[in-house]
Each structure stands twice: as C-alpha cells, then as structure tokens.
Amino acid sequence: MDRVTKEKGFPLTRLFFKPESSSMFILIVMLIINIVLQKNFFETKSIVRNINAFAPLILLAMGQAIVIVSGGLDLSSGAALSLFTCVLTTVMKQNEPITGFYALLVTFAIALMVGIVNGIGIGYLRIPPVIVTFATSYIWLGIALFLRPTPGGETVGWFRIFYRARSVEGIPALIRTMDNFIPPALILVLIGCLLWFVVSRTRTGRYVYAVGSNMESAYVSGIDTAKTQMLACVMNAVFIFLAALFFVAQNQSGDARMGGPLTIKSIAAVVVGGISLFGGRGSIYFALVGAMILELVSKIIFFADIPNAYQTLVSGIIVIVAIAGPAYVMFNKEKR
C-alpha cells in the first residue's frame, strides 16, 4: 500500500502533471491573456461571437476524441464535414421550407454511412485507422466536389436557427430573446455533450475506453471490439453532422474544401486536451478544453497583428508543438 503514496509524491506537483489539470491551467492562462488583450471580452456580443467561432472545432474535436479513445484516428473528419455541408446545400431549395427537413434526414443518413464505412475499415477489416480514413477522406472529397465543384448552394430560411435564431421569420418571441444570450452554437455543443453524457453511462461508453486501452484484454472479457470501434466512428460522424449544421447556417453555402484544415486541428485539440493518442486514456469533455485553447491561441495571434497569411503556418506549428510536447514529456518519464 505504501507504494501508492510514494508514487503520488508532493500532491500539488502531482496535480499539475496530470494531463487534465495542466490543460485546464493552460486554458485559464489563455483566457486571462485574451481578457487582457480584448477590452470588451465580457460583453454579450463578443462572448456570442467567441462561442460561434469555437463551436465547430469543439464539436469536431469531441468526435475525434471518441475515435481516438477507442484506439482509432480519423483523418477524414474535415472532408466529412465538407461533404455534409455540400449535401445539405444541395438538397435544400430556397423557396421550399420543407426541403430543410429532407436535407436534415438525408445528411444524417449519410453521416451514419460515413461512420459505418470508417468503422468497417478500422474495426472489422483491421486496416490501420490512419490509412483507412486517409483513403476515405478522398472519397468524401470526391463526392463533395461532385455535388458542389465550387462553393455555393441554397439554404432554406429557417435553417438560420442553427446560427442566429432571431433572424428566422416567425420565430416565437421567447426564443428570439433567448437567442441574444444563448447562441444556437452553444446549444449544438450542449447537444454533443449530452449525447456523450448518455453514451458514457452505457456499455458502449465503457467499452470504448476498454477497447482503446487494451484490445486484447477487452476481447477476452467478451467485448465485441470491432462493433465498439464502429460505434465510435458513427458517434464521431454525428458530431461532425452537428458541426455541419452550424457551418451551413452561418455561411448559407456548402464548400467541398472548407473542412480540410480542420482535421489536423481537431487531432491537436484532442492532444492538447490531455487525451492520449494511443487510446483509452483521457476525458472526452477535455477535447472541448483543448479546442478552446487552440482557438484562444489563434485569437492571441490575431491580436498580435500577425498577417492573415501566417495563420496556417502558425497553427501548424502550434499543432506540432501541441502533439510533440506531451509525447516528449512522456518519453522522458519512461527513460527515467
């Protein structure tokens, strides 16, 4: 028993070196810097703007986190996001409100398909996840380009409720006033959190961790590992679907190439959130923290007046530092 206490060491340092608490700490630091830099940070308007800016990456990162915890990795999430925006804007016809519902149904079905195809490759065929999803990312890109060679497309009017509910005609006054404080983007993120909250309390949620932590052990304990990994991929697709709703509502158009850069960002967010790339370890909710950290860092870069052209470069460097940093720490720990 004394072994355990020895390992814990000085409680405060121990707490700091837990990946969760260090990412929480970084988040707080980033928030403080942002508050200092942005004078009107606490105004409702800018809070809403921030939530709108952060929501897509948060949703993508949470979906990615589920796949990573289950022992996989999804390089196709950005392409899938683009595909969903293209499908939504293709099915919808501006003057027929009913097509909005059709679009939701069709896109959701396609999201399930996307998840199942990735899941078959990762779970049942046992092809290395990175390679499967690399291949599928081009399938999604191809279909998206087929539907929408150039950005554009139509949306129905009420679709704006996923972005700015008050701009929808005939919306009840209550929602209209609520929208001033609670943006739809926040509700989408909450839906995502709720989804995981429910799943995490079922067998599937438990098994996602078990499979990612040690597939062999999970298998001999009677867990259907392939099915579990497939379900993780499907959940990821649902999160991407939620992000797509927001994008289309915000931009009123679909774009086959918009999602590409978000893939690697979502992976970085997961890592920054203290979730192990090797699976089984870390809290899905901390992908949200990781995504917020990355977005806050981009905002700091924005305030630092770095030209727009440097954005990709800087975010790439952040990603590599974010991924290599924790690995470096782990590597040194192992050596000792």
Instruction: Tell me which residues in 125-184 interact with another protein (CB under 8 A).
Output: 125-128, 130-132, 134-146, 149
Nearest distance from C-beta of residue 133 to another protein, angstroms:
9
Closer to another protein by Cβ: residue 57 or 268: 268
Residue 118, C-beta contacts closer than 8 angstroms, at least 6 positions apart: 74, 76, 132, 133, 136, 233, 236, 237
118 in Cβ contact with 74 (< 8 Å): yes
Which residue stretches of 252-274 are H helix? 260-272
Q: Which span sits near another protein by CB under 8 A: 87-95, 230-238, 242-250, 305-313?
A: 305-313
CA 31 to chain centre: 20
What letter represents residue 37's amino acid?
A: L
Residue 246's alpha-carbon distances to 91, 151, 189, 255, 283, in angstroms, are: 16, 16, 10, 13, 24
Strand (E) or helix (H) holding 66: helix 44-69
Nearest distance from C-beta of residue 149 to another protein, angstroms:
7
311 belongs to the binding site for another protein (CB under 8 A): yes
206 strand-pairing partners: none
254 belongs to the binding site for another protein (CB under 8 A): no
Can you tell me which of 11, 170, 172, 222 binds another protein, judged by CB under 8 A? Answer: 222
State the Cα–Cα distance between residues 136 and 243, nearest whole angstrom: 19
- Interface with another protein in residues 44-83 (CB under 8 A): 73, 75
Extract the tokens encoding 41: 């940070």
In degrees rounded to 5, what are phi and psi of residue 100? -60, -45
Closer to another protein by Cβ: residue 135 or 178: 135
280 belongs to the binding site for another protein (CB under 8 A): yes
Closer to another protein by Cβ: residue 118 or 253: 118
Extract the tokens encoding 245: 């709703």
Closer to another protein by Cβ: residue 122 or 249: 122
State the Cα–Cα distance between residues 106 and 93, nearest whole angstrom: 14
Closer to another protein by Cβ: residue 31 or 224: 224
Q: Which span sits near another protein by CB under 8 A: 14-22, 47-55, 245-253, 308-316?
A: 308-316
11 belongs to the binding site for another protein (CB under 8 A): no
Can you tell me which of 281, 285, 301, 302 binds another protein, judged by CB under 8 A? Answer: 281
